[in-house]
């Protein structure tokens, strides 16, 4: 073996000093362009408002690195693409570390301290690892090209439902071109890297310290063998190398310089977005700042720097686009396109040295980059988009903040407007007198404690639909009977209870939400109880996650947890098993929002039901369409509805007998959809409580 110090690659071998200097000048220029680009982006983010969250940099950094390294989010619902991206990611990271290592040796430790380590054994292993990294990178890239060019998943044509073909920003071919350019550029850099490696080997074949160790760069060596076999001479290789070196170098430097101006920036922005994620996004919406000049977001500068950063993290993967129930039924909403519109808008308005006049910063409307009312009102706030996004973009809070402005201006469906006024007047969305809230208790035949007047163990927060809707009242009465049979000491707030406000908040009527929250917290603080149970997942979500911001922190569980407990303890008996073939629909606000997937399934098991899952279950459950205030907005005449879409999915289950729900709105929506989709008679919709009662 040759001398260790000699086993290395001489950088700039045979280049004149002026050539090397030229390279460095170009290199530094590239870096300068890169830094300038970063500066422009950072300046853009700083034009947003403060995010108002604790920075906690170290824990966030750690969590971000874990996400990046395990790539779990990218593999979800797109397994092959996720693995391919993993290859690209690790390949690129290794190659980057490799270049950094060389720089460390050549430009820093060498000149400053005379220390060189990039030689000998280290160099050989280094070469091997990087060759493999290059293969990983190239392999991943080739798969992505195959996916994009041959498999052609529909979401990758970026067709947007919120614009018409005549609109200027309808055409997405620019994005597709950029994506291909990115793939080809990286692939070319990798390919030319290997060729260069091979050319060097051929050129220096006469040196044993190079030629004898060539198989530590297996790809290069293989190519070198091929070149020699094709008759390439050492001199010829040297000539090729000199030219290709510049091509490869310039291309790579160009790539680096362009990072902040292109899709490539997602390397940083995605990491940033992940780092500053709100783990409770969508479950817990942000409060309005008391001194805010306007409610919600009207101008692009009303967004927080974190939101502006997230906009840049989007890589158009389309997972949110696929998951969205509104988009699935043809509504003019794609969460992806809301983000991309706002990003385009931000780039157009916030990227220049001077900030344009405020009037030009209004993001509402139908112009290029703006978001239309119809788009915003289509959202069901089901958080499927937030939940699946691999780069932690938080679409729902953005949409709600945009809605806050619409609400202030009264720009909403007349029916919605009327419902909000009704809720303000009567505390419920049905317009019924407060006194009638507990009218369902009269059908019971036993008294229900008034938690305002006497202490109880469990306070049952019933909710609007469960109290007033005739179909749901049967379920409510059923639950009361179960609690009584199980010997639970429970009570309700009677007319002290108002609409919990979850959907009012998601509509964007923050002022009314505050009124409702304060009223309910006031009623709760006057009562004495150990925990709260609720049959309404929407109420569950807001009381659990949002009421603490208003001074009301309670121990609260959804009824499924309580019932399971009672069944496991033996307080609730299952006298005969229900041998039914069922499927379970995870309610958005219980499942995806609060990870309550298991309790209902455990109950079904105890009941002896055969559970066949639908394809879109658990965190991928498909919203019934009622959320975000949509239950108060009429659907367009003749349009498909999310609930109908779901019914068709259920109907595909062979021999299905019962479609089980555990949310009052789901019960209403799906019983309706069962009829309107023409599937009545195929199976029935039942609340889980009704099944428990049947088995008792």
Partner 1 sequence: MKILVAVKQVAALDEDFEIRADGKDVEAEFLLRDLNEWDDFSLEEAMRIKEAATSPVEVVVVCVGPESADESIRKCLAKGADRAVRVWDDAIEGSDPIAIAQLIAAVAKRERPDLLFAGVQSSDHSFASTGIAAAALLDWPHAAVLTQLTYTPGARTARFRRELEGGLLHEMEIDCPAVLTIQLGINTPRYASLRAIKQAAAKPIEVLTLADLSVPPGAVGEGGSLSRVRRMYVPERGRAQMIEGSVEEQALQLAAIIREATGGAA
Partner 2 sequence: MSGVLIIAEQRRGELRPATLELVSAAQGARRAPGDTVAVALIAESPERLVPAVSVPGVDEIVTVQVAAREFDADTLETAVRALIEARKPSLVLVPHSIDAFGYAAALAARNRYGFATDVFRFEYADGALVATRGGYGQKVNIEVDFPGKDVVLLAVRGNVYKPPEGTAAPSVTSFTAPDVSSRVRSLEFIEPAAADDVDMTAAEFILAIGRGIGEEGNVQQFRELADAVGATLGCSRPIADAGWLPKSRQIGQSGKTATACKLYVAMGISGAIQHLAGMKHVSTIVAVNADANASIFGIARYGIVADIFELGDALKEQFQS
Residues lying near partner 2 in the complex (CB under 8 A) are found at 414-415, 634-638
Nearer to partner 2, 450 or 635 (CB): 635
Using the contact rule CB under 8 A, the part of the chain among 12-20, 358-366, 420-428, 556-564 near partner 1 is 420-428
443 lines the binding site for partner 1 (CB under 8 A): no
Helices (H) and strands (E) in the chain, counts: 29, 9
**Residue 7 burial (C-beta neighbours within 10 Å; 0-12, 13-18, 19+):** buried
Residue 149, binding choice from partner 2, partner 1, none, Cβ under 5 to 8 Å by partner class: none
Instruction: Enumerate residues 498-557 that contact partner 1 by CB under 8 A.
Output: 509-512, 514-515
Closest distance to partner 1 from the beta carbon of 409 (Å): 8
**Residue 518 interface partner, choices partner 2, partner 1, none, CB cut-off 5-8 Å depending on type:** none
Q: Is 424 in the site for partner 1 (CB under 8 A)?
A: yes
Q: Are residues 321 and 66 in contact, defined by beta-carbon separation less than 8 angstroms?
A: no
List beta partners, residue 684: 658
Stretch that binds partner 1, among 20-28, 85-93, 355-363, 410-418 (CB under 8 A): 410-418
Which residue lies nearer to partner 1 by CB, 296 or 390?
296
Rounded least distance, CB 465 to partner 1, Å: 19
The most distant pair of C-alpha atoms in the chain lies apart, rounded to whole Å, by: 101
> What token pair was written down for 150?
């041959």
Query: By CB under 8 A, is residue 690 in contact with partner 1?
Result: no
List 661's β-bridge partners, or say none: 687
Residues 62-81 as x/- pattern, contact with partner 1 by CB under 8 A? --------------------
Choose among partner 1, partner 2, none what residue 562 binds, the Cβ cut-off being 5 to 8 Å by kind: none
Number of residues that bind partner 1 (CB under 8 A): 21
Closer CB to partner 1, residue 302 or residue 337?
A: 302
* Minimum distance, C-beta of residue 408 to partner 1, in the bound complex (Å): 5
Whole-angstrom Cα distance, residue 15 to residue 2? 24
Q: Which is nearer to partner 1, 115 or 439 (CB)?
A: 439
Listed in sequence order, the residues at least 6 apart from 190 whose beta carbon sits closer than 8 Å to its beta carbon are 134, 137, 138, 141
354-383 positions binding partner 1, by CB under 8 A = none
Q: Which of 29, 56, 352, 433 is close enough to bind partner 1 by CB under 8 A?
A: 433
DSSP 357: P
Q: Does 210 bind partner 1 (CB under 8 A)?
A: no
C-alpha span between 491 and 456 (Å, rounded): 6
Bridge-partner residues for 659, per DSSP? 583, 685
- Give the dihedral sign, CA 132/138/144/150: negative
* Cβ partners under 8 Å of residue 498, min gap 6: 427, 428, 516, 519, 520, 523
- Separation of alpha carbons 641 and 662, rounded Å: 20
Give yes or no for a contact between 54 and 60, defined as CB atoms under 8 angstroms apart.
no
According to DSSP, the β-strands at 610-611 and 556-558 are unpaired
Tell me the closest approach of the beta carbon of residue 483 to partner 1, in angstroms.
26
Q: Please, which residue, 310 or 428, has the CB nearer to partner 2?
A: 428
Using the minimum distance from each CB to partner 1, give the nearer residue, 162 or 495. 495
> Closest CB to partner 2 among 518 and 635?
635
Kindly tell me which of 86 and 417 has the beta carbon lying closer to partner 1.
417
| Residue 435 interface partner, choices partner 1, partner 2, none, CB cut-off 5-8 Å depending on type | partner 1
Instruction: Write out the two tokens for 300.
Output: 């692009």
Does 425 interact with partner 1 (rule: CB under 8 A)?
Answer: yes
Q: Which does 417 bind (CB under 5 to 8 A by kind): partner 2, partner 1, none?
A: partner 1
Enter the tokens of residue 249.
């170098």
Q: Residue 388 is inside which H or E element, if any?
A: helix 384-388
> Residue 468 or residue 490: which is nearer to partner 2 going by CB?
468
Place of tokens 């045979």: 14
The footprint of partner 1 on residues 270-309 (CB under 8 A) is 288, 295
Q: How far is the CB of 340 from partner 2 (least distance, A)?
A: 31
Question: Does residue 417 interact with partner 1 by CB under 8 A?
Answer: yes
Give the strand order in the sheet containing 581-584: 610-611, 581-584, 658-661, 684-687
442 sits near partner 1 (criterion: CB under 8 A): no
Instruction: Give min distance, CB of 628 to partner 1, in A.
Output: 17
What is the total residue count of the chain?
Answer: 696
User: How far is it, in rounded angstroms, from Cα 415 to Cα 266?
Assistant: 42
Q: CB of residue 494 vs partner 2: minimum separation in angstroms?
A: 21
Among 111, 165, 357, 435, binds partner 1 (CB under 8 A): 435
* Cα dist from 248 to 112, 202, 213, whole Å: 28, 18, 23
Minimum CB separation from partner 1 for residue 299, in Å? 18
Q: 462 near 421, Cβ under 8 Å?
A: no
Instruction: Give least dist CB 634 to partner 2, A.
Output: 4
Binding-site partner at residue 637 among partner 2, partner 1, none, CB < 5 to 8 Å by type: partner 2
Looking at the Cβ atoms of 514 and 565, the one nearer to partner 1 is 514
Structure tokens at 184: 């080809």
Nearer to partner 1, 158 or 547 (CB): 547
DSSP-assigned states of every residue in 222-271: HHHHHHHHTT--HHHHHHHHHHHHHHHHHHHHHHHHHGGGSGGGHHHHHH
Q: How far is CA 619 from the centre of its chain?
A: 12
Cβ atoms of 694 and 609 closer than 8 Å: no
Q: DSSP assignment of 118-169, as one string?
A: SSHHHHHHHHHHHHHHHHHHHHHHHHHHHIIIII--GGGG---TTS-TTSTT
Report in angstroms how near the CB of residue 673 gets to partner 2 at its nearest. Answer: 14
C-alpha 187: how far from chain center: 28
For the CB of residue 469, give the shortest distance to partner 1 in the complex, in Å: 17
User: Quick one: which of 147, 436, 449, 682 contacts partner 1 (CB under 8 A)?
Assistant: 436
634 binds, among partner 1, partner 2, none (CB under 5 to 8 A by kind): partner 2
Q: Which residues are CB-contacts of 414 (< 8 A; sequence separation ≥ 6)?
A: none
**Shortest separation between residue 468's beta carbon and partner 1, angstroms:** 13
CA nearest 313: which of 389, 381, 400? 389
In the complex, least distance from residue 491 CB atom to partner 1, rounded to whole angstroms: 22
450 touches, from partner 2, partner 1, none (C-beta below 5 to 8 Å by class): none
Q: Shortest approach of partner 2 to residue 481 CB, angstroms? A: 25
Residues 476 and 440: beta-carbon distance below 8 Å? yes
User: Which parts of 392-472 are beta strand (E)?
Assistant: 449-450, 458-461
Question: Is there a contact between 227 and 240 (Cβ–Cβ < 8 Å)?
Answer: no
Distance (Å, rounded) from C-alpha 398 to C-alpha 297?
8
Work out what residue 575 binds among partner 1, partner 2, none; the CB cut-off runs from 5 to 8 Å by kind.
none
Residue 415's binding partner, choosing from partner 2, partner 1, none, with beta-carbon cut-off 5 to 8 A by kind? Answer: partner 2
Binding partner 1 by CB under 8 A: which of 87, 133, 199, 407?
Answer: 407
Point out which span in 12-20, 433-441, 465-473, 633-641 binds partner 1 (CB under 8 A): 433-441
Is 340 strand, coil or helix?
Answer: helix
Cα dist. 525→210, 516, 548 in Å? 80, 14, 13
**Least Cβ distance, residue 270 to partner 2 (angstroms):** 42
Q: Is 209 a residue that touches partner 1 (CB under 8 A)? A: no
Tokens of 519: 């009223």
Residue numbers at the binding site for partner 1 (CB under 8 A):
288, 295, 407-408, 410, 412, 414, 417, 420-421, 424-425, 433, 435-436, 509-512, 514-515
């Amino acid at each position: 073996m040759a001398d260790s110090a000699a086993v290395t690659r001489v950088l700039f071998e045979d280049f004149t000093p002026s050539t090397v200097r030229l390279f460095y000048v170009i290199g530094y220029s590239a870096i300068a362009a890169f830094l300038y680009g970063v500066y422009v982006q950072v300046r853009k983010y700083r034009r947003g408002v403060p995010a108002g969250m604790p920075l906690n940099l170290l824990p966030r950094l750690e969590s971000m690195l874990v996400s990046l390294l395990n790539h779990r989010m990218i593999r979800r619902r797109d397994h092959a693409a996720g693995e391919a991206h993993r290859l690209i990611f690790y390949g690129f990271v290794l190659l980057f570390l490799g270049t950094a290592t060389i720089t460390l040796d050549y430009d820093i430790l060498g000149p400053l301290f005379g220390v060189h380590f990039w030689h000998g054994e280290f160099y050989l292993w280094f070469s091997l690892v990087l060759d493999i990294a290059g293969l990983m990178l190239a392999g991943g890239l080739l798969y992505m090209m195959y996916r994009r060019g041959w498999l052609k998943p529909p979401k990758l044509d970026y067709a947007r439902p919120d614009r018409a073909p005549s609109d200027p920003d309808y055409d997405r071919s620019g994005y597709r071109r950029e994506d291909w350019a990115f793939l080809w550029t990286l692939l070319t850099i990798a390919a030319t890297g290997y060729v260069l490696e091979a050319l060097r080997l051929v050129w220096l074949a006469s040196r044993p310290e190079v030629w004898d160790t060539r198989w530590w760069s297996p790809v290069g060596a293989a190519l070198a063998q091929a070149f020699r076999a094709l008759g390439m001479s050492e001199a010829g290789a040297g000539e090729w190398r000199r030219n290709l070196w510049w091509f490869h170098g310039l291309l790579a430097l160009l790539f680096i310089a362009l990072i902040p101006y292109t899709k490539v920036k997602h390397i940083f922005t995605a990491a940033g977005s992940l780092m500053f994620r709100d783990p409770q996004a969508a479950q817990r919406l942000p409060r309005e700042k008391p001194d805010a000049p306007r409610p919600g977001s009207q101008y692009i500068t009303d967004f927080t720097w974190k939101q502006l950063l997230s906009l840049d993290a989007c890589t158009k993967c389309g997972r949110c686009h696929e998951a969205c129930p509104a988009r699935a039924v043809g509504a003019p909403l794609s969460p992806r396109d809301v983000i991309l519109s706002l990003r385009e808008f931000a780039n157009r308005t916030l990227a220049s040295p001077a900030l344009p006049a405020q009037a030009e910063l209004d993001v509402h409307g139908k112009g290029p980059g703006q978001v239309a009312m119809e788009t915003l009102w289509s959202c069901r706030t089901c958080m499927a988009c937030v939940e699946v996004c691999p780069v932690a973009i938080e679409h729902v809070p953005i949409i709600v903040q945009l809605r806050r402005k619409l609400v202030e201006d009264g720009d909403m469906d007349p029916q919605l407007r009327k419902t909000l006024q009704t809720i303000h007047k009567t505390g419920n969305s049905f317009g019924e007198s407060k006194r009638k809230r507990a009218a369902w208790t009269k059908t019971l035949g036993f008294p229900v404690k008034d938690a305002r007047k006497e202490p109880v163990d469990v306070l049952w927060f019933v909710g609007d639909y469960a109290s007033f809707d005739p179909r749901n009242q049967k379920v409510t009465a059923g639950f009361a009977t179960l609690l009584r049979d199980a010997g639970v000491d429970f009570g309700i707030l009677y007319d002290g209870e108002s609409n919990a406000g979850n959907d009012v908040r998601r509509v964007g009527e923050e002022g009314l939400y505050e009124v409702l929250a304060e009223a309910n917290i006031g009623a709760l603080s006057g009562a004495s109880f150990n925990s709260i149970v609720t049959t309404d997942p929407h109420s569950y979500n807001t009381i659990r996650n949002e009421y603490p911001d208003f001074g009301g922190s309670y121990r609260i569980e959804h009824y499924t947890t309580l019932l399971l407990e009672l069944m496991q303890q033996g307080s609730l008996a299952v006298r005969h098993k229900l041998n039914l073939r069922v499927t379970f629909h995870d309610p958005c606000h219980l499942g995806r929002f609060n990870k309550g997937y298991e309790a209902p399934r455990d109950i079904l098991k105890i009941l002896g039901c055969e559970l066949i899952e639908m394809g879109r279950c658990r965190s991928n459950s498909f919203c019934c369409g009622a959320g975000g205030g949509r239950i108060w907005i009429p659907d367009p005449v003749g349009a498909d509805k999310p609930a109908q879409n779901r019914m068709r999915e259920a109907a595909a289950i062979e021999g299905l007998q019962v479609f089980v729900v555990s949310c009052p709105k789901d019960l209403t929506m799906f019983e309706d959809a069962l009829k309107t989709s023409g599937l009545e008679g195929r199976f029935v919709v039942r609340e889980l409580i009704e099944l428990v009662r049947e088995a008792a």
